Amino acid sequence: MVAPLKVGIAGLGTVGAEVVRLIEAQSRALSARCGRGVRVVAVTARSKAKRRNLDLGGIAWAKNALDLASDPGIDCFVELIGGSGDPALSAIEAALKSGKSVVTANKALIAKHGLRLAKWAEKCGGALNFEAAVGAAIPVVKTLREGLAGTEVSRVYGILNGTCNYILTRMEQEGLSFAECLKDAQRLGYAEANPSFDVDGHDTAQKLAILASLAFGTKVAQSAVYVEGISSIAPADLRAAEDLGYRVKLLGVAVRTAKGIEQRVHPTMVPKSSSIAQVMGVTNAVTIDGEGIPPITLVGPGAGGAATASAVLADIADVARGIRAKPFGRPVAKLRTTKKAPMERHEGGYYIRLMARDLTGTAATIATRLAEQKISIESIVQRHPDGYVDTRASGKASPVPVILITYATSEDAVRRALQAVQHDKVISGRPQVIRIEKN
Residue 16: its H or E element: helix 14-25
CA distance 12 to 280: 30
- Coil/strand/helix, residue 164: helix
Is residue 399 within 8 Å of residue 357, measured between CB atoms? yes
Is residue 119 within 8 Å of residue 52, measured between CB atoms? no
Query: For residue 110, which of 90, 94, 128 has the smallest C-alpha distance?
Result: 128
CA distance 114 to 108: 9
CB atoms within 10 A of CB 35: 12
Q: How far lies 39's CA from each of 88, 105, 161, in Å?
A: 22, 19, 32
Helix 107-124 vs helix 88-97: crossing angle, to nearest 10: 20
Going by C-beta distance under 8 Å and a sequence separation of 6 or more, which residues neighbour residue 82?
11, 88, 106, 108
User: Euclidean distance between the first and final Cα of the chain, in Å?
Assistant: 51
* Catalytically annotated residue among 107, 112, 207, 249: 207
207 is catalytic: yes
Is residue 270 within 8 Å of residue 155, measured between CB atoms? no
- Active-site residues: which are they? 207
